[in-house]
Amino acid sequence: MKWEQLQTRQPVVAKLLRHAVVRERLPHAYIFEGEDRSEQVSAASLLCRAFLCQKDAIDKPCGECSDCRRVESGNHPDVTSIKPDGQSIKKHQVERLQKEFTYKGMESVRKVYIIEEADLMTASAANSLLTFLEEPEGETLAILITSNLHFLLPTIVSRSQVLTFAPLSEVERQKVFQNEGETEVLAAIKARIREIPADIPEEERLTWIVHGRQVVIQLAEEVLLRPRQARLFLQEKWHVHFKDRNHIETGLDLILFWYRDVLYTKWNREDLAYPDQLERLRTEGLHRSELMLAANMKAVIEAKRYLSANVNPQLIMERLLFRIQEGS
């Protein structure tokens, strides 16, 4: 991400950050809060590059110096990232961070740490971080990323500058992706799927979501045209691709977008998640009333709720399949 891209997506955030960089008056801690974690992470990387860049302030980040390149590749020795260890960020992770920051920077006197999903810190981890925020070592920049600001300790929030990332509409996000060179099909699905499961390697994420999208298209076709084979399709295709709960949650979102698109085609709307499947969507629309489609979407939303309650995923999908076929 570059300043121009951040300006397009988040003009207020871009203005505040760039102004602070140019004036070299960055606070010691930021909280990035909003729904789109991937965008916040990209903005954090941009700020890290600007903070550590070797060029003049007005041109930071240059994108060419060794600091810029290593931050972008995720290999800078003076940038530390923390993510949840399982379901939470634990005290020992923050203590390890504190120990790391007692040493001098490998490349300069400046050091950065980024905490993703900061709202998942345990109480002891949050209190350890609070001490660290109150007494930062040297030229330190902290960036906490969260979608639930109210879950952070008020004392942590009060010692940080909060920047809110306003959510873009699906149409706006799609335009951004298309302006960055994505095809209409990929831009449409990326604009709607906020996060791809973290256990999918970065280099495989595009392939994974494209294949998952195709699995959902095929499942919808089986349910409509070959309902007796749909359960077999679940076993042979769906569960093979969407292997665990995080995967299934993304798959359920893709199903939800499918039936919403069917409804949208009945209303002659063009903001579709599956713009290349217009004929299939129209065909399905001929076989399903608006009430049936609303029921299908409700069934998907309920399936997501059962999934978060740790109900057996296979039972969830079989029940969802039955409800979609019944249209109730």
Tokens 């294949």 appear where? Answer: 211
Q: Which domains does the chain have, with CATH numbers?
A: 3-165 (3.40.50.300), 171-326 (no CATH)
Residue-wise pLDDT tens digits, 125-178 = 998 888 778 776 668 888 999 988 999 999 999 989 999 988 878 888 888 788
Given this model, what pLDDT does residue 134 score?
Answer: 75
For residue 88, the cross-strand partners are 85
Given this model, what pLDDT does residue 30 score?
Answer: 93
Tokens 């290349």 appear where? Answer: 276
The amino acid at residue 192 is R
On the question of pLDDT at 47 being above 70, the answer is: yes
291 Cβ neighbours under 8 A, 6+ residues apart = none
When comparing pLDDT for 139 and 41, which is higher?
A: 41
Residue 208: half-sphere exposure toward Cβ, Cα within 13 Å: 20
Given this model, what pLDDT does residue 9 score?
Answer: 80
**By three-state DSSP, how is residue 200 classified?**
coil
On the question of pLDDT at 253 being above 80, the answer is: yes
Q: Does this model's pTM top 0.85?
A: no
- Give the alpha-carbon dihedral of 32, 11, 51, 177, to 10 degrees: 80
On the question of pLDDT at 293 being above 90, the answer is: yes
For residue 82, the cross-strand partners are 115
* Token code pair at residue 292: 């049936």
